[in-house]
Amino acid sequence: MTMEWLILARATHFGACLLLFGVFAFDRGVATAALARGPANVAGYWCARMRWLSAGALVVVGVSGAAWFYLVAATMSGQTPTAAILAVVWDKTQFGVVWKLRLVIGLLVAAALAGSWFWQTRSTRRKKMIWVELALSGVLLGSLAWAGHGQVGQPAGAHLAADVLHLLVAGVWPAGLAPFALMWWKLRRAEDPARKSAQAALVSRFSAISLAAVAALTATGLVNAWYLVGTWANLFGQPYGWWLLAKITLFIGAVAIGAVNLLRLSPRLGAENEPEAGRAEAASKLQRNVGIEVWLAILIVVVVAVLGLLPPAIG
C-alpha cells in the first residue's frame, strides 16, 4: 500500500503546487485585464476566491509534502519510519536537502500570503505583494524538478531547465482552468451589462495564453522525452513509455476540447449577430467543456505522479 499512498501524496502535492502558482498567474495575466471594465461585484468575488484558493492550496502543499517525505523515508528504510530514520533522510539524502529548501520557500510564500491579507484594503501594496507571491510560488513549483527525473542524466542542464519550464507552464495551463471556471461561473450569473465585455475579454486573453502554453508544453515535453525515453521502441515497449503515452493522450484530449472552445464557442460569444439564446448556449457549453478539461488535468497530474516513481524508459 505504500506505493499507492506515495502516488496519492505526489499527485496531491503536484496539483496543489500547480494551483497555487496558477491562481496568481491567472490573476496577473488574465483576471486583472478581463475585469478592468467588468462588474465590480465579480472583481470582489475573484479577490476573495483568490485569497482562499491560495491559502487552501498552500495548506495542502504543506500536508501533502510532509506525507510525501514520510512515505519516501518508509520506502528507503523498508520499515515504519522512526524519528531517527526521518532525521537521516532529512540530513543525509539529496531528497532531504531538496525538502529543506522547499520548506523555506513554502514559509516565504506563507509570509507573503499573510502580508497580502493584511494589505488587502491597500490596492497598491497588495498588487505588489501578488507579484511577490507569483514569484515565490513559481520557485516552489519549479523546485519540484529536483524531486523527479529532471536531475538525472548527463548532461542534465538542458533536461532540468526543460523540466522546470514544463512545470511553470503547466501552472498557467491547464492549472489556470480552475480559476477560469470560477470566474466564468460568476460572470454568467452577473446581471450587470458589463459582464458581456468582461466575458469576451476573459475568453480572448485566456485563449491566447493557453495557445502559448500548449506550444511550450509540447516543446519542453519533447525535450524531456528525449532524455527519458530516447527511442520509439522504448516508448511502446517500456512501462514508463506506456504511462507517458497515457499522459500524451490526456493532453491531446484537453487540447482538442480547448480548440473547440476557441474556434467554435468563443466566436459565438462575441458575435454581434448571434441571438441571446445562442450566446447563452455557447456559454453553457464552454462551462461544461472547461469542467471536462479540469478533470483531464487532474488525471494528467495522477499520471505524472506515477511517472516520477518509474525508472526512465531509456535505461
Condensed to tens digits (0 to 9), the pLDDT of residues 163-211 reads 999 999 999 999 999 999 999 988 888 777 777 778 888 888 898 899 9
* Residue 37 DSSP label: T
R_g of the chain, CA atoms, integer Å: 21
3-state secondary structure of 63: helix
Q: How many angstroms separate the most distant Cα atoms in the chain?
A: 71
Q: Please give the Cα distance from 260 to 183 (Å, whole number).
A: 20
The x, y and z cell numbers of residue 286, run together, are 464552454
Confidence of residue 60 (pLDDT cuts 50, 70, 90): very high
The x, y and z cell numbers of residue 246, run together, are 497515457
Statement: residue 153 has pLDDT above 60: no
Confidence of residue 43 (pLDDT cuts 50, 70, 90): confident
Q: Please give the Cα distance from 144 to 17 (Å, whole number).
A: 9
Average pLDDT value for the chain: 88
Q: Which residue's C-alpha cell is 450587470?
A: 192
- Decide if 162 contacts 223 (C-beta within 8 A): yes
- Which of the two residues, 305 and 43, has the higher pLDDT score? 305
Q: What pLDDT does residue 129 have?
A: 86
Q: Please give the Cα distance from 37 to 22 (Å, whole number).
A: 23
Confidence of residue 156 (pLDDT cuts 50, 70, 90): low
Confidence of residue 232 (pLDDT cuts 50, 70, 90): confident
- Decide if 68 contacts 309 (C-beta within 8 A): no
Give pTM, 2 decimals: 0.92
